[in-house]
Structure 1
């Protein structure tokens, strides 16, 4: 499966970094690009549990393609969310099922530098994304 254009841009940018400090700066810059969520969207039902920071995740369907929207009160986590979104947005359910998202963060050179709490937070986000997808699958069966 080929990388979406924005994901290719991210991969090239992060691979060009010489160390963690550059990557961390770039990560925060990517996080600034996240579209803000409204107050109504920053509610308990959209909150990701298992993160030390506040994180909200929304999943929307546009035809066969899925769109995630996310936000966090933590700058580095916003960057991780932005990188997740450029990798998954616009994919179909079957394409999402084939993704190796931890491998994506490895490719970016980020996985080894994440603190245990950030790594756990990212895992909680990935788990919540899967729960939202599974819930929509079950909802489709019930209709």
Structure 2
């Protein structure tokens, strides 16, 4: 049930043969994101459980979920971009049902992220699910 933008990332990963190239691609995805407005970097949008500073600002518009995010770490900004591709535009009721682990496994991220980054990624996914579940 992946979004087309996420499927595009999967296709890019299949084209890139080694993890270093994939890692650089994730960082480029993060660089391409608009930075989160400084006014939105507040305790309410900060994600606990991440080694880096991470902020997620969710929005529900017309029953569809989306979020903006930012981090002080480039790889984490890239992971936020990957999650945006996975979740943005979904009907809010579908967000908690996304098998994020299964979808992200298509990118082989777990094998290449440090345990701290993996924990942070899980914390971001959990925040997204909680917000969406509260709205659906």
TM-score, normalised by the number of residues in structure 2: 0.93
Q: What is the Cα deviation at residue 4 of structure 1?
A: 2.6
How many residues are matched? 136
Q: What is the Cα deviation at residue 134 of structure 1?
A: 3.1
- Summarize deviations over 1:35-86 as a string: whole Å, max 9, x none: 2111110111100001110000011011111111111111111111101101
Aligned to 1:14: 13
Distance 1:94 1:133, change over 3 A: closer
Task: Please tell me whether Structure 1 or Structure 2 has the larger radius of gyration of its CA atoms.
Answer: 1
The runs of 5 or more residues in structure 2 that have no matched partner are none
Aligned to 2:107: 108
SS where residue 45 of structure 1 aligns?
A: coil
Q: What is the Cα deviation at residue 109 of structure 1?
A: 2.0
What CA distance in whole angstroms lies between the structure 1 residues aligned with 2:78 and 2:22? 10
- Aligned alpha-carbon RMSD (Å): 1.3
Aligned to 1:53: 52
Contact 2:96/2:133 (8 A) holds in 1:
no
Aligned to 1:87: 86
Q: What is the Cα deviation at residue 14 of structure 1?
A: 1.0
Name which of structure 1's ranges 59-68 and 89-98 shifts more when overlaid on structure 2: 89-98
Contact 2:58/2:67 (8 A) holds in 1:
yes
Name which of structure 1's ranges 102-111 and 75-84 shifts more when overlaid on structure 2: 102-111
Give 4+ residue runs of structure 1 displaced > 6 Å after superposition.
none
Aligned to 1:119: 118
What CA distance in whole angstroms lies between the structure 2 residues aligned with 1:46 and 1:87? 19
Q: What is the Cα deviation at residue 102 of structure 1?
A: 1.3
